Amino acid sequence: MANFKGHALPGSFFLLFGLWWSVKYPLRYFNEKGNKKSHRNHSYQRLDVIEGAAKIIFAMIGMLAEQFVPDGPHLYLYSGEERSWVKLMNWQHTTMYLFYGLSGVVDVLTYSPLKLPLGMDRLMLSVAVFVEGFLFYYHVLHRPMLDKHIHSLLLIAVFGGAFGILLEVFLRDNIVLELFRASLAILQGTWFWQIGFVLFPPRGGPAWNEEDHDNIMFVTMCFFWHYAAALLIMIANYMLTYCCIQRCKRDTGEIDIGLGVRKQKSDTSSHVALLNGSDEE
Q: Binding a copy of itself by CB under 8 A: which of 134, 210, 248, 263?
A: 134
- Tell me the Ramachandran region of residue 144: left when phi exceeds 0, alpha when psi lies from -120 to 50, beta otherwise: beta
User: Whose Cβ is closer to a copy of itself: residue 101's or residue 196's?
Assistant: 101
Closest among 170, 177, 178, 176 to 272, alpha carbons compared: 170
Residues 178-197 that bind a copy of itself (CB under 8 A): 179-180
Answer yes or no: are the C-beta atoms of 50 and 16 closer than 8 Å. Answer: no
Strands (E), 33-179: 78-79, 84-85
Give 131 or 185: the residue with its C-beta nearer to a copy of itself. Answer: 131
- Residue 259 binds to a copy of itself (criterion: CB under 8 A): no
Using rule CB under 8 A, residue 225 touches a copy of itself: yes
Rounded Cα–Cα distance for residues 89 and 255 (Å): 53
Fill in the per-residue mask, 79 to 118: x = in contact with a copy of itself (CB under 8 A), - = not in contact.
-----xx--x--xx--x--xx--x---x--x----xxxx-
Least Cα distance to 265 among 37, 84, 9, 14 occurs for 37
Report the distance separating Cα 12 and Cα 46, nearest Å. 23
List residues binding a copy of itself (CB under 8 A). 28-29, 32-33, 84-85, 88, 91-92, 95, 98-99, 102, 106, 109, 114-117, 119-120, 123-124, 127, 131, 134-135, 138-139, 142, 156, 169-171, 173-177, 179-180, 213-218, 220-221, 224-225, 227-228, 231, 235, 238-239, 242, 267, 270-272, 274-280
